[in-house]
């Protein structure tokens, strides 16, 4: 079992939902974002998603965009984030670390170079917002030999056959179920059909499912995750640590 | 459906948009097979847009230059004043077919925004246009036109506050509202099927020009020249001549203050392969993959990417890509005004400038076919400002 599988097995044994935390690295500073990761691990976060900023974050709402702009103004790069993972990995040997970004960042870095360095630093998986099923082969071809996996996403618009196809071959990862149509960020409410949607997705795939987008607190997350295996908090955490700046 | 051109193109979008894209692919494939769709499209192109657009021999300019004959494909004479409307008519018809009631668009120079607002009014649809705040300022006549036509214009002040950022915002809107909203992309960029679909809708330019040129001059043009922002007017022109190896295809990118200064918008001539707005293509980017702020006096060319088919044509050598700087484009703008009584768009002025460079080196028998993609009414103030040294940015 890899770190991701072990983590979900442990959460299940403990009868809790996996808490996945997203942070935009480099905001308000690179050091502070890694310190925020440490703080969150102390608060019971199970999996870290480290966001690498991109100039054109089309899938992100205002909060994460503002953080990405700050990180870019600080000159933070993929190499900086990867370098920081080494320290995290040394202190937290069992915590899954996911690099979360847009495809151009990886493509520009060189896919093979990225995969090899990420594996060497202790990264477990990669989540690429703008890399759907149809285009992911090129990246998987270099991730697999390096021992890394990919975190796939399904959206409210994804039909059942496609949900299955997206999950296929990534059984060593977890599936990110986007709760709403739209960008990241907090919302007045989550859609009423979310519970049945998560139940449906769970039935279709055989890897852990986490729900993300619009979840503000671990309590809210745990409620949503009663229909799946975990939840993601992103914008709310980014906002909190930007405020602390 | 063609999704890739060599390594270029593809569908690099968030999962939420994949199903809407597949629905669009299917609707477009159905429409293509439906004679009623083509008939309605053709009817609108003739009786509303005013096609076909003429081919005009730029006699005084050509004689002044003393070389090849420069011939203009007059897309500036279309309703709304540019080639953009060829595409928005097609996409609005598709939107109606798909039961969508709201059109959104990104726009740079504002011509595509105006063309989208126009067809929205024609079909009784809602319309919202995203436009960079800098472009709102430098193309204000078009903002007024869009509003007059009933569209809502959102000024986008993020990033470089130009076309790329307008497109980001349009993609975000579409992601949130894909149930009732059709995203009318204004160029041959974006995820598949947009590059192919927009090219198909614009190919009327090249098909007409080929026929007109044969009829008027008894031969094909030696060169077909068009400006390249995202590349739709160029792809539309090139589409008519791809199978004619004797016709040299020339795409003209915005050289801004000069390639060497870094202040330009020449994605093919000065960029590197990457992924933005749904396709893999040439992009202007930093070594770490951040998209660079582009610069051109012409808002419609001020974009850091280019349609994937152009990237492919550049690699295969079927088309050649070059740059024209701001000052050369402005000189060509003046020349066309004074020699021909035609006020061209600043975008199109880049293509005219390239023809002005090439004509004197060629014999009189040679024909340079230039796509005059739009008219310059929107640029009057911008040109004055540029000449007085208060450049548009
Ligand atoms: C008149 C005109 N020509 C050309 C362009 C550039 O777009 P494309 O390269 O897609 O033809 C624009 C865009 O706004 C335009 O308004």
> How far is it, in rounded angstroms, from Cα B32 to Cα B329?
38
Distance from CA of A159 to the nearest CA of B (A): 8
Please provide the size of chain A in residues. 245
- Tell me: the pLDDT tens digits for B224-250? 999 999 999 999 999 999 999 999 999
Q: What pLDDT shows up at residue A245? A: 64
Which atom from ligand 1 is nearest to the alpha carbon of B228?
9
If pLDDT is split at 50, 70 and 90, which confidence band does B40 have?
A: very high
pLDDT number for residue B391: 59
A-chain residues near B19 (CB < 8 A): 155, 157-159, 162
Q: Is A49 a catalytic residue?
A: yes
pLDDT exceeds 70 at position B41: yes
Name the pairing type of β-strands B223-227 and B367-372: parallel
Q: Does B281 touch chain A (CB under 8 A)?
A: no
Separation between Cα atoms, residue A19 and residue A169, nearest integer Å: 24
Low-confidence ranges of chain A (pLDDT < 50): none
Model confidence over B81-101: pLDDT tens digits?
Answer: 999 999 999 999 999 999 999
Return mean pLDDT, chain A.
97
Length of chain B equals 393
Share of chain B above pLDDT 90, in %: 97
In ligand 1, the atom with minimum distance to the C-alpha of B82 is 1
Distance (Å) of CA B64 to CA A7, B235, B335, B343? 77, 29, 10, 18
For A60, A130, B50, B186, the CA distances from B172, given in Å and listed in that order, are 8, 13, 34, 16
User: What's residue A136's pLDDT?
Assistant: 98
Which percentage of chain B shows pLDDT scores above 70? 99
CB-based burial label for A130 (10 Å; 0-12, 13-18, 19+): buried
Q: Which CA distances in Å does B209 have to A56, B226, B324, B357?
A: 38, 13, 23, 22
Measured distance CA(B46)–CA(B31) in Å, rounded:
19
For residue B110, the CA-to-ligand 1 centroid distance in Å is: 9
**Is the per-residue pLDDT at B364 higher than 70?**
yes
Model confidence at B393: pLDDT above 70? no
Cα B248 to averaged position of ligand 1 atoms, centre (Å): 21
Is B291 at the interface with chain A, CB within 8 A? yes
Whole-angstrom distance, CA of residue B251 vs CA of residue B373: 13
What is the reported pLDDT for B390?
Answer: 63
Give B18-28 pLDDT, tens digit per residue.
Answer: 999 999 999 99
B175 and chain A: CB distance < 8 Å anywhere? yes
- Is B19 at the interface with chain A, CB within 8 A? yes
Q: Is the predicted pLDDT of residue B174 greater than 90, yes or no?
A: yes
Judging contacts by C-beta atoms under 8 Å, the chain A residues touching residue B163 are: none
**B187 close to ligand 1 (CB < 6 Angstrom):** yes
Residue B175 has pLDDT above 90, yes or no: yes
CA distance A190 to A221: 11
Q: Are A214 and A180 in contact (CB under 8 A)?
A: yes
At residue B318, does pLDDT exceed 80? yes
For residue B245, the SS3 value is: coil
Residue B251 in contact with ligand 1 by CB distance below 6 A: no
Q: Which residue has the tokens 């349009």?
A: B170
Distance between A163 CA and the closest CA of chain B, angstroms: 10
Please state, in angstroms and rounded to a whole number, the distance separating the CA atoms of residues B73 and B85. 15
Strand order across the beta sheet in which B181-183 lies = B152-156, B126-132, B102-107, B181-183
CA distances from A53 to A79, A99, A153, B294 (A): 12, 11, 19, 20
Cα-flanking dihedrals φ and ψ of residue B105, to 5°? -150, 155
Q: Which residues contact B80 (CB under 8 A, 6 or more apart)?
A: B111, B114, B115, B118
pLDDT at B120 over 70: yes
Residue B150's pLDDT is what? 98
Measured distance CA(B349)–CA(B356) in Å, rounded: 10
Query: Does B390 or A80 have the greater pLDDT score?
Result: A80
Cα three-residue angle B214-B217-B221, rounded to 5 degrees: 65
Strand, coil or helix: A188: coil
Does ligand 1 lie within 6 Å of residue B232's CB atom?
yes
pLDDT in the model for residue A189: 84
- Comparing alpha-carbon positions, the chain A residue that sits nearest to B287 is A108
Count the Cβ atoms, other than its own, within 10 Å of residue B388: 8
Interchain contact, B15 vs A58, CB within 8 Å:
no
Nearest residue (CA) to ligand 1, atom 1: B374
Q: Per-residue confidence at B138, pLDDT binned at 50, 70, 90?
A: confident
Contact B326, B256 (CB under 8 A): yes
What is the rounded distance in angstroms from the CA atom of residue A84 to the CA atom of residue A102?
19
Searching chain A, which residue's CA lies closest to the CA of residue B272? A108
């Amino acid at each position: 079992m890899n770190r991701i599988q072990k983590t979900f097995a442990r959460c299940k044994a403990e009868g809790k939902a996996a808490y996945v935390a997203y942070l935009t690295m480099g905001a308000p500073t690179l050091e502070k974002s890694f310190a925020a990761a440490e703080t969150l691990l102390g608060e019971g976060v199970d999996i870290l998603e480290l966001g690498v900023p991109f100039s054109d974050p089309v899938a992100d709402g205002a909060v994460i965009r503002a953080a990405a702009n700050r990180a870019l103004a600080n000159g933070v790069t993929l190499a900086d984030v990867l370098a920081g993972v080494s320290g995290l990995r040394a202190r937290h040997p069992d915590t899954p670390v996911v690099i979360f970004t847009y495809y151009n960042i990886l493509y520009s870095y060189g896919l093979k170079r990225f995969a090899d360095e990420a594996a060497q630093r202790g990264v477990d998986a990669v989540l690429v917002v703008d890399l759907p099923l149809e285009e992911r082969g090129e990246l998987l071809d270099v991730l697999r030999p390096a021992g890394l996996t990919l975190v796939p996403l399904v959206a409210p618009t994804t039909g059942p056959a496609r949900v299955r196809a997206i999950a296929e071959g990534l059984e060593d990862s977890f599936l990110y179920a986007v709760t709403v149509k739209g960008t990241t960020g907090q919302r007045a409410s989550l859609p009423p059909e979310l519970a049945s949607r998560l139940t449906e997705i769970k039935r279709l795939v055989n890897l852990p499912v986490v729900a993300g987008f619009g979840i503000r607190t671990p309590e809210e997350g745990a409620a949503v995750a009663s229909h799946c295996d975990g939840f993601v908090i992103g914008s709310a955490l980014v906002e909190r640590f930007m405020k602390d700046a | 459906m063609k999704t890739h051109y060599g390594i270029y193109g593809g569908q690099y979008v968030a999962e939420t948009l994949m199903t809407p894209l597949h629905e669009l692919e299917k609707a477009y494939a159905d429409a293509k097979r439906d004679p009623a769709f083509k008939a309605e499209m053709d009817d609108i192109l003739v009786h509303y847009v005013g096609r076909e657009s003429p081919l005009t021999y730029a006699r005084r300019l050509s004689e002044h230059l003393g070389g090849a004959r420069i011939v203009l494909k007059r897309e500036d004479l279309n309703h709304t004043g540019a080639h953009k409307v060829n595409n928005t008519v097609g996409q609005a018809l598709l939107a109606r077919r798909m039961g969508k009631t709201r059109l959104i668009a990104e726009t740079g120079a504002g011509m595509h925004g105006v063309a989208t607002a126009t067809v929205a009014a024609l079909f009784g649809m809602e319309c919202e246009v995203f436009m960079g705040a800098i472009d709102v300022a430098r193309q204000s006549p078009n903002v007024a036109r869009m509003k007059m036509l009933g569209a809502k214009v959102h000024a986008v002040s993020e990033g470089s506050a130009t076309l790329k950022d307008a497109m980001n915002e349009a993609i975000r809107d579409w992601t949130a509202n894909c149930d009732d909203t059709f995203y009318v992309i204004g160029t041959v960029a974006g995820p598949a099927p947009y590059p192919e679909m927009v090219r198909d809708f614009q190919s009327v330019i090249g098909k007409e020009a080929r026929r007109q040129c044969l009829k008027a001059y008894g031969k094909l043009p030696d060169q077909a020249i068009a400006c390249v922002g995202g590349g739709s007017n160029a792809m539309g022109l090139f589409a008519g001549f791809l199978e004619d190896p004797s016709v040299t295809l020339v795409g003209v990118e915005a050289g801004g203050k000069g390639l060497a200064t870094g202040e330009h918008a020449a994605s093919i001539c000065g960029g590197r392969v990457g992924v933005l707005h749904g396709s893999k293509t040439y992009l202007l980017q930093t070594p770490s993959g951040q998209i660079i702020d582009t610069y051109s006096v012409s808002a419609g060319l001020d974009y850091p990417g280019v349609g994937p088919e152009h990237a492919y044509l550049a690699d295969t050598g079927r088309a050649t890509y070059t740059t024209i700087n701001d000052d050369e484009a402005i000189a060509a703008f003046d020349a066309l005004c004074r020699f021909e009584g035609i006020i061209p768009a600043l975008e199109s002025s880049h293509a005219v400038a390239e023809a002005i460079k090439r004509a004197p080196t060629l014999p009189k028998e040679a024909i340079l076919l230039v796509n005059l993609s739009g008219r310059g009414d929107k640029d009057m103030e911008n040109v004055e400002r540029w000449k007085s040294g208060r450049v548009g940015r």
